[in-house]
Structure 1
Amino acid sequence: MFHGCTCLSDGLAFVDIETTGGPAQRASITEIAVVEVDDSGVRQWSTLVQPQMRIPEHIERLTGISNAMVANAPRFEAIADELFDRLDGRIFVAHNARFDHGHIKAAFRRMGVTLRPRVLCTVKLSRRLFPQERRHSLDHLIARHRLEVLSRHRALGDALALWQFWQRLHDHFPAGQIEAVARELIGRPALPPYLDPAEVDALPDAPGVYLFYGENDIPLYIGKSTRLRSRVLSHFSADHESDRELSLSQQVRRIDHVRTAGEFGALLEEARLIKRLQPILNRQLRRNRELCAWRFEQDLAGDAGLSLVQASEIDFRAPGRLYGFFRNRRDAQQRLRSLCAEHALCPPLLGLEKHTPGRCFTHQLKRCHGACLGLESYEKHVARMETALASLRIEAWPYAGPIGLREGEVLHVVQDWGYYGTVNSPAEVPALIAQGRAAFDFDIYKLLVRGVKRLPVVVPAEIIEKG
């Protein structure tokens, strides 16, 4: 029986797919089923689909669909026309609909076909109609509503379970109530199924940092924006175009945010939180404990040399010039060797090779100018070395002590390229500095170098005294 709602008068298509577990951006669908329901009745359709990748063993065990079963199955292109006709104009109903809709929409897009159905997610529908229940997975719905499933984790069996669930709803609620909830869910922005819409509604359209959390409150992703709410919604409106966005929408359970005074504060807070929380989907701004740099020093006798120093040990106000940064000692040495080759510098004089008086293998190969043999003046060699290293020059700290970078009504407190925190007035700076030296961080250093040139610098007398 078709329980008619005016907003659903064109009919429903209960959809389920099985996949290899691969990304939506590749041909990974192994089975599709559609149960069409409208005034003319109920029609079932399903087909295996040949993916363009192997099915992993654990997926075979879960679904019962083997590589042998799909070896001679049609590819998606062969069944696309029939599938489009079954979906066209109907409400696309699926459990955790972003997954099924995302894969099917991506498959059509690879063919140059646009599919834009209205989508109704039964996870969201269950959450709205049964708010007292904590769990809304398909297994929980099957047990809670005593649904009869012919074959779990097969596309047709799961699609028929959703059709049964729809019918059960009409045993619990009047059609008008179901219609009202369906209208709202179809008309709302497509939020992830397990995310409370109230958390998105609470986001301000203002600068700050947003944090996505998954099961067991595991940090998934941290981002920043000058318009938090709009940026968060953009993640979910484009999930079918990016495997990362699709994965994020499937995993997110909670959103948190931190307001900042502006874009610069958001950049600093994002970098700080990523280093502290290490969210699994952030691939940049990771901690690097082996970060190092080359220090060039020259003594009173004129002797000069390069030494490798750890970033955590650098005094940015001490004499000497710094070049870097490098992820580790090996990267630093490889880069210096490359510069030697490009600029015909002498590796022994740079400490990269043992210096044997009167001999230079690099000069024998005509790859250096022979400074270690006296064929080039030491001063000229040093000058060429400094030219070669110029693009790697690290900014020295240009102030006598701590400063505040003014952004709106707040001050971002900085000293020796370390970020201490943000305060509301200069009077709060000494207490913040007194808590101890801020650890050096390369990503924050790059932000601060730009920030010092772009934002007003505040150097109150009390800060200088404390510095």
Structure 2
Amino acid sequence: MPAYCVGIQFVIRPPFFPVPALPKSSLSRLAFVDLETTGGTATSDRITEIGIIEVDEAGVREWSSLVNPEMPIPPFIQSLTGITNEMVADAPTFAELAEQVHERLADRIFIAHNARFDHGFLKNEFRRTGHDFRPAVLCTVRLSRKLFPGFARHNLDTLVERHRLQVSQRHRALGDAQLIWQFWQKLGDEHSAEVIQDAVDRLLSRPTAPSRLDALQIDALPSSHGVYLFYGENDLPLYIGKANNLRRRVLAHFSTDHSSSKEQALSQQVERIEWIHAAGELGALLKEADLVKRLMPAQNVKLRQNEEICSWRLLQRDGRVKLALADTEDLFFGHDPELYGLYTSRRKATEAMKAIADAHALCHQELGLEKRRAGKACFASQVKKCLGVCAGREPVEEHNARVRAALENMRLQAWPYAGAIGIREGESLHVIDAWAYLGTIDARDDPTILTARGRRRFDRDVYQILRKWLPRMDGQIVRLSS
């Protein structure tokens, strides 16, 4: 039978293991796989050829078949692979090959170059035929990077040149599978069995999708900035998180080595994932804080909305420094340069300020933390915990200065702009006013669609995020109103 006609190519060779010291339990059943397809999108393109090399104690077996993709092959792909529409017209469909392919890959480590591509296509094809396909997957691109970190490039053509692999037919399924198999055999020339085993173990310890979650949702996740939402049985999110690499971060949640029982319980409950793209890290941080407050997911605590946020306002009256509580209903909250500390309740604010006063020998009466008794000094001055401003022993000016020094590191930064601003990040514009996040729009759109909605309350989390980010984004800030 001529090579690459409709059908199979089947070769049996003596068993050959390049690193025989590796435990058979981990690497005794391997499948080196390559596919040719009609394009690069696993959910819409289809397979045109499959090549599999099975390696186990019995030997090495090669198998390949053309596949009728049930759709036209684009001219560019025909030119690249040499597989034409005429060649696959009478080939079996994947549905007709599914049982056979499944048997060849069952209980084997699935090894491919850029394995996410081949694995994704097969997973989608198997899904269409009602098969569940979840093999242990080993990517030889990642393996090459781990074992040969001194090299910048690890594509298949580079490996052919670097390791002097013998090319039979490039861009054909079995020919490329043979190159991957050859690369595997070359590993033992430069690395010990222990080093290879360790690298393989690390790459195979990849997280797997929870049983309730359709793994295709994970495959659709991009490796970019964004926010992800985990859902359970209903439409209320269990957890919302931000990521600089959505795919990597979500997979980390599903690691078999969970860092906590909470993480493990979350993994077991997830049934659906949604994600929102962000232009960069700042956009992801702002969107996460906004969504957590609006949707109140059960597993998020730190970014949940607090009904009461208050701060101490420092007032100077008749030459004396006094304290008064201000909350976010105050129109000047976020603008006033004399606000100190952020607290989730008036009780906590009062307790914290009394502790600060005691630590710095400040007068509770003078600060307004307790009622002044006519003609009488505060109790703390009698036990030497106040330096006696209330009794005339300390000059008011000195007490004022000590109050300001004690509180200085708690001072809130006043909003440094006359009105709303936009912060450019990529093609997006994040709109902020007085430490409140108004939303993100395309940088070409009119920001008044957000600023016209009116003033929003000071947001503690946005404040903390922007305190770090504003200095580094100075060149990207656009003043929107005055």
Please tell me the TM-score bracket, short chain as reference: 0.5 to 0.7
Residues in 2 aligned to 1:266 and 1:195: alpha-carbon distance in whole angstroms: 24
Residue of structure 2 equivalent to 1:385: 403
Partner of 1:118: none
Q: Give deviations 1:409-456, integer Å, cap 9, x for gaps.
A: 222111111111112237622331111112222111100111211213
CA RMSD of aligned residues (A): 2.5
Q: Do the aligned partners of 2:415 and 2:435 also contact (CA within 8 Å) in 1?
A: yes
Is 1:348 matched with 2:365?
A: yes
Q: In terms of Rg, which structure is larger?
A: 2
Give the Cα separation in 1 of the matches to 2:418 and 2:458: 18
> Contact 1:292–1:332 at 8 Å: present in 2 too?
yes
- The 5-angstrom pairing of residues 30-179 of structure 1 reads 177=102
Matched, 1:294 2:312: yes
Give the AA of the match of 2:283: G
Q: What is the aligned partner in structure 1 of residue 380 from structure 2?
A: 362
1:422 aligns with 2:371: no
For 2:446 and 2:290, how far apart are their aligned partners in 1? 20
Q: Please give the per-residue CA displacement for 1:63-119, whole angstroms capped at 9, x wherever unaligned.
A: xxxxxxxxxxxxxxxxxxxxxxxxx889xxxxxxxxxxxxxxxxxxxxxxxxxxxxx
Structure 1: which 5+ runs fail to align?
A: 1-87, 91-172
Is 1:436 matched up with 2:454?
yes
Partner of 1:326: 343
Work out whether residues 218 and 247 of structure 2, in 8 Å CA contact, stay in contact via their aligned partners in 1: yes
Of the three residues 120, 135, 139, the one matched with 1:186 is: 135
Q: TM-score, length-normalised on structure 1?
A: 0.59
Q: Relative to 1, partners in 2 of residues 1:451 and 1:353: Cα closer, same or farther, differing over 3 Å?
A: same
CA offset digits 1:282-324 (Å, max 9, x no partner): 232111111100001224x434321101124251475550001
Does the alignment pair 1:311 with 2:260? no
Alignment partners' CA distance in 2, 1:460 and 1:233: 36
**C-alpha separation in 2, matches of 1:334 and 1:439:** 25
User: Against the structure 1 CA distance between its residues 284 and 212, is the aligned structure 2 distance closer, same or farther, given a 3 Å change threshold?
Assistant: same
Match of 1:94 in 2: none
Mapped partners of 1:370, 1:344: distance in 2: 9
Matched residue, 1:253? 271
The residue type equivalent to 1:258 in the other structure is I
Q: 2:198 aligned with 1:198, yes or no?
A: no
Contact kept? 1:405, 1:412, Cα under 8 Å: yes
Give distance in 2, aligned partners of 1:350 and 1:340: 9
- For 1:385-464, what aligned pairs fall within 5 Å after superposition? 385-425=403-443, 428-456=446-474, 460=478, 463-464=480-481
The 2-side partners of 1:182 and 1:245 are apart by 29
SS class of match (1:221): strand
1:227 and 2:272 matched = no
Counterpart residue identity of residue 346, structure 1: C
Partners of 1:315 and 1:416 within 8 A in 2: no
**1:204: Cα distance to partner?**
0.5
SS of 1:237 mapped into structure 2: coil
Secondary structure at the counterpart of residue 192 of structure 1: coil
- How far the C-alpha of 1:229 sits from its partner, in A, is 0.7
Deviation at 1:255, TM superposition (A): 0.3
Contact 1:294 1:306 in 2 (8 A): yes
Distance 1:364 1:226, change over 3 A: same
Distance 1:410 1:174 in 2: 48
What do residues 8-47 of structure 1 show as CA deviations (whole Å, max 9, x unaligned)? xxxxxxxxxxxxxxxxxxxxxxxxxxxxxxxxxxxxxxxx
Alpha-carbon separation, structure 2, partners of 1:356 and 1:426? 62
1:323–1:393 CA contact under 8 A, matched in 2: yes
The separation in 2 between residues aligned to 1:325 and 1:314, in whole angstroms, is 16
- SS of 2:242's equivalent? strand
> How far does residue 279 in structure 1 lie from its aligned partner after superposition?
1.3
**1:57 aligned partner:** none
Would the alpha carbon gap of residues 267 and 219 (structure 1) be closer, same or farther in structure 2, given more than 3 Å must change? same
Instruction: Output the amino acid matched with 1:403.
Output: I
Aligned 8 A contact 2:424 2:477 in 1: no
Q: d(CA) in 1 for partners of 2:351 and 2:383? A: 19
**In 1, Cα distance between the equivalents of 2:134 and 2:335?**
62
1: distance between equivalents of 2:463 and 2:478? 22
Letter in 2 for 1:371: V
Q: Distance in 2 between matches of 1:310 and 1:456?
A: 29
Counting matched residue pairs gives 295
What residue number does 1:79 align with?
Answer: none
CA 327–450 in structure 1, closer or farther in 2 if over 3 Å, else same: same
Whole-Å separation in 1 of the counterparts to 2:273 and 2:213 = 8
Separation in 1, partners of 2:236, 2:335: 42
Distance 1:226 1:318 in 2: 32
User: 1:263 Cα shift?
Assistant: 0.6
Tell me, yes or no, if the aligned pair for 2:321 and 2:366 is still in contact at 8 Å. Answer: no
Name which of structure 1's ranges 320-329 and 403-412 shifts more when overlaid on structure 2.
403-412
How far off its partner does 1:280 sit?
Answer: 1.4
Distance 2:416 2:229 in 1: 34
Q: Which of residues 272, 289, 297 is equivalent to 1:279?
A: 297
SS, match of residue 215 in structure 1: coil
> Hey, what's the Cα distance between the residues in 2 that align with 1:449 and 1:258?
24
- State the SS of the aligned residue for 1:286: coil
